[in-house]
Amino acid sequence: MCMAYKCTMIAREEAPQPRRRTGGRSARVRRAVLEATIAQLGERGLDGLSIAEVASHAGVAETTVYRRWPTRTALVADAVSDLAASGNPAPDLGDVRTDLTRVAEQIAGLLSMPGIPGLIGTVLAMAADPHVAASRQEFFDARIGMIAPVVRRAIARGELDSGVDERDVIETLAAPLYFCVVVGGELDDAAVRRSVDRCLRVHASP
C-alpha cells in the first residue's frame, strides 16, 4: 500500500515524535528493534515478520531480541505501546475547527509514516490477542487523553454540545482517516477537511 499525506511540511511537523527515554544502550536497542519491526510489517505484513531479520536490520544479536521479545506478538504489542507513548500536546489555537484540524493533521501525519499502515493491518489481524488488544487500548486511551482538553475548551466556548464525550469526538474525527488507510485512500488536505466537517456536524452545538 502506498500513500502519503500531501501536506508534507505539516506531516513532518505534526507526526508524533518518539518520547525521549533515558537508559543508554538499552533504549537505543529498543528503538532500533521497534523501528525495524514496523518497517518489516510495512513491507511484508505479519506473515513476513521474522525476528531474525528484525535483529539483522536493527544491528543487534538475535538472542538480544528474543530475551526481550520472545514472540512476534510481543514485538507487535510493544511497537503499539511505543506509539502510545509518543504524540503531540493538545492544540489550543482559539477555536474548535482550528484545533480539530490540527489534531486531524497529526493523525494523518502518523498514518503516513513508513510502516504504520502495515502495523495497523497487523493489529487488526491480531485483534483477539490479549497483549495486542491491551496495547491497542493504551494507544487509543492516550489519544482520548490528548483531545480531552480540546473538547473541554470547546464546550466552555459554546462550540460543542455540552453533553459530548471525548471518546466520541476522537472516534468521529479519526475514523475516516483510518478508513483511508484500510481501503488505500488518499490522506490529503481534502481528507482532513472532510474528517473535521463530519466531526463538527455530529458534535457542534445547535
Find how far residue 108's CA is from the centre of its chain.
9
Q: Cα torsion at 159, 162, 168, 171 (round to 10°)?
A: 10
Residue 142 has pLDDT above 70, yes or no: yes
Q: What is the mean pLDDT of residues 66-80?
A: 95
pLDDT at 199: 98
Residue 177 has pLDDT above 80, yes or no: yes
Residue with cell 497529526: 106
Residue 184 has pLDDT above 90, yes or no: no
Mean pLDDT of the chain: 88
- For domain 27-82, which architecture applies? Orthogonal Bundle (1.10)
Superfamily of domain 87-203: Tetracycline Repressor, domain 2 (1.10.357.10)
How many angstroms separate the CA atoms of 154 and 96, rounded? 6
Phi/psi at 160 (5° precision): -115, 155
Question: Among candidates 56, 53, 94, 51, which has minimal Cα distance to 71?
Answer: 51
pLDDT at 21: 47
Residue ranges matching CATH 1.10.357.10 in the chain = 87-203
Say if CB 111 and CB 20 are below 8 A apart: no
Residue 197 has pLDDT above 70, yes or no: yes
Q: What is the mean pLDDT of residues 129-150?
A: 93
Residue ranges matching CATH 1.10.10.60 in the chain = 27-82
pLDDT at 7: 41
More confident residue, 188 or 24: 188
How many angstroms separate the CA atoms of 174 and 178, rounded? 6
pLDDT at 92: 96
What grid cell was written down for 176?
475516516
Per-residue exposure over 161-181, b if at least 16 CB sit within 10 Å of its own CB, e if not? eeebebebbbbbbbebbbebb
Taking the model in full, what pTM does it have?
0.81
Q: What is the mean pLDDT of residues 165-178?
A: 95
